[in-house]
Amino acid sequence: MRAIVTVVGKDKVGIIAGVCTVLAEYNVNILDIRQTVMQDYFTMMMVTDVSGSQLPVAELAKALEEKGKEMNLSIRLQREDIFDAMHRV
């Protein structure tokens, strides 16, 4: 199953490393990644494959949210089908 990870916050060293470390801990594969810095704000979107993770998606989302709080970022994970449904015009 694929899931979308979004990250937003003030730019600083270690954001990508911090997020990727959590994903690697739970055996989540990154399929695609895009990031940009707009003025002082960092934004990133990742398409991931969570099928190798033993952790339920809701718990994985919580682990990423906790990492976001630790790093003063907004980190969200949603299943791809839910993300698509929410962003349909």
Show the domains of the chain with their CATH numbers: 2-86 (3.30.70.260)
Residue 80 has pLDDT above 80, yes or no: no
pLDDT at 84 over 80: no
Do 64 and 76 meet the contact criterion of CB atoms below 8 Å apart? yes
In whole angstroms, how far apart are CA 17 and each of 13, 23, 71, 82?
A: 9, 10, 11, 26
Contact present, 45 and 5 (Cβ < 8 Å): yes
**HSE-CB for 39 with a 13 A CA cutoff:** 0
pLDDT tens by residue, 29-77: 999 999 999 999 999 999 999 999 999 999 999 999 999 999 999 999 9
List, for residues 6-25, the tens digit of each pLDDT value: 999 999 999 999 999 999 99
Q: Identify each DSSP E strand in the chain by its residue range.
A: 2-10, 29-38, 41-49, 74-79
Distance separating alpha carbons of residues 39 and 37, to the nearest angstrom? 6
- pLDDT of 83 strictly over 90: no
80 against 30, higher pLDDT: 30
What per-residue confidence (pLDDT) applies to 88? 67
pLDDT at 27: 97
Can you read off the two tokens belonging to residue 22? 């959590």
**Amino acid 79: pLDDT:** 78
